[in-house]
Amino acid sequence: MTRSDQVTSPQVHTHGTVAPEATTYAVRKLQAALYHAPAPVLHSRLTLDANAPGDRVEAHIDVNGVAVHVHAVGESLQEATDAMQERLRSRLRRIRRRPTQGPRAPEPDPA
């Protein structure tokens, strides 16, 4: 299994005036962070909000049944995206260190 098959294309939601370059940058940063996921990423959603006080970026990720949510606010969407990526990588490392977190693995068939 290669690591690239774990990364999904996120659903992207925007609020306010968000440049296409900012969206592309945020998607790339999210996907780069998802390479650190300890299990397959089942779903990912990215929200860029230029209407919030400060620019806000949120990521909602489902890592094999474990929900992960991070958000960051910055003076620009790029700054908020960079902070979101660092927080997401930190959370994904924490999941890796706590393997008992999340749903239990299926029991092997006795047959």
Asked if residue 19 is part of any domain, the answer here is yes
- Mean pLDDT per block of 10 residues along the chain (111 residues) reads 58 92 95 90 94 91 92 94 95 74 62 62
Q: Looking at residue 31, what is its pLDDT?
A: 93
**How many CB atoms are located within 10 Å of the residue 107 CB?**
6
Asked if residue 109 is part of any domain, the answer here is no
62: which strand partners? 43, 67
The number of domains in the chain is: 1
Asked if residue 80 is part of any domain, the answer here is yes
Q: Looking at residue 1, what is its pLDDT?
A: 38
Global confidence as pTM: 0.78
Residue 84 sits at the vertex; the CA angle it makes with 81 and 89, to the nearest 5 degrees, is 125
Asked if residue 107 is part of any domain, the answer here is no
Asked if residue 16 is part of any domain, the answer here is yes
11: phi then psi, degrees, rounded to nearest 5? -75, 135
Asked if residue 56 is part of any domain, the answer here is yes
Asked if residue 104 is part of any domain, the answer here is no
DSSP character at residue 3: G
Q: Is 68 helix (H, G, I), strand (E, B) or coil?
A: strand
* CATH number of the domain encompassing residue 33: 3.30.160.100
Domain span including residue 59: 3-97
Q: Looking at residue 26, what is its pLDDT?
A: 95
Q: Looking at residue 52, what is its pLDDT?
A: 81
Asked if residue 32 is part of any domain, the answer here is yes
